[in-house]
Amino acid sequence: MLHIKCPHCGLRSQNEFSYGGDASVKRPELNKEISDQDWDNYVYLRKSPRGKHLELWQHISGCRQWIKVERDTLTHEIFKTLKANEEV
């Protein structure tokens, strides 16, 4: 079980969190023209890297904040955790 450092609460076990996918994905802006291809990429396509991955987790049984976690998908090493508004 991973040990994740919530930037708001501190080190907590994985079972307090829920996973939210790739943190680098940006939602297209509202009311903006966008091609079918770009929209489909946003909705469906995700990279599945082996190694470093910036991902979203929500501290669902804690402060309920969405946080960013930089994790190695192979070794599960966590390099860094960030608040939602922070960039790597």
Partner 1 sequence: MSENFRLDNVGLVNRNKKISFKFNGKNYFGYEGDTLASALIANGVHLVGRSFKYHRPRGFFGAGVDEPYAIVQMNRNNEVDPNVRATEQELFEGLEAKSVNCWPNVDFDIGAINNFLNIFFPAGFYYKTFMWPKSFWYKVYEPIIRKAAGFGAASIKHDKERYEHKYEYCDLLITGSGPSGLASAYAAAQNGAKVILAEDKSRFGGTLLTSDETIGNQSGKEWAEKIISELKSMSNVIVKNRSQVFGYYDHNMLVMSERVSDHLPKTEKYTPKQRLWYIRAKEVIISSGSIERPLVFGNNDTPGVMLSSAAKEYLKVYGVLVGKKPIIFTNNDSGYETAIEFKKNGVDPIVLDTRKDTNSEIIKEAKELNINIKFSYVVVAAKGYKKVNSADIAKISDDKKNISSIENIKCDCICVSGFWTPTIHLASQSGNKSKFSEEIDAFIPSQSKQKETTLGSANGVFTLEETLKTSFEKGNELSKKITNKENKVLVPSVVEKKSSNHDKFWCVPLPEGKNYKRFLDFQNDVSVSDIQLALREGYRSIEHVKRYTTLGMATDQGRTSNLNGLQLVSDIENKVVPQVGHTTFRPPYSPISIGAIVGREIGKHSKPTRKSPMHYWHEKNNAVFVDAGVWLRPRYYKQGNENLFEASKREAKNVRQNVGVCDVTTLGKIDIKGPDSAEFLNRVYTNAWLKLPVGKARYGVMLREDGIVMDDGTTTRISENHYHMTTTTAQAANVLTHLEYYLQLVWPELNVNVVSSTEQWAGAAIAGPKSRNLLQRLFPDLDVSNEGLPFMGYMEGKLFGVNAKIYRISFSGELAYEVNVESDYGNFMWEKIIEIGKEFNIQPYGTEALSTLRIEMGHVAGSELDGRTIPYDNSLEGLVSKKKDFIGKRSLNKKAYIESDRQKIVGVVPLDKKTSIPEGSYIVKDAKAKLPNPKLGHVSASCWSVEYDNPFSLAIIKDGKNMIGQKLFAMSPLKNKVIPVEIVSSHYVDPKGERVRS
DSSP characters for 18-65? EEEEETT--PPPTT----HHHHHHHHH-----SSEEEEEEE-TTTT--
Partner interacting with residue 71 (select from Zn ion, partner 1, none; CB below 5-8 Å by kind): none
SS3 16: helix
CB of 49 to partner 1, least distance (A): 18
Partner interacting with residue 34 (select from Zn ion, partner 1, none; CB below 5-8 Å by kind): partner 1
Map tokens 């091609």 to a residue: 35
Binding site for partner 1 (CB under 8 A): 1-3, 13, 18, 20, 27-28, 30-31, 34, 36, 39, 42-44, 56, 58, 60, 64-66, 75-76, 78, 84-85
Binding status of residue 80 toward Zn ion by CB under 5 A:
no
Binding status of residue 9 toward Zn ion by CB under 5 A:
yes
Q: Is 70 left (phi over 0), alpha (psi -120 to 50) or beta?
A: beta
CB of 43 to partner 1, least distance (A): 5
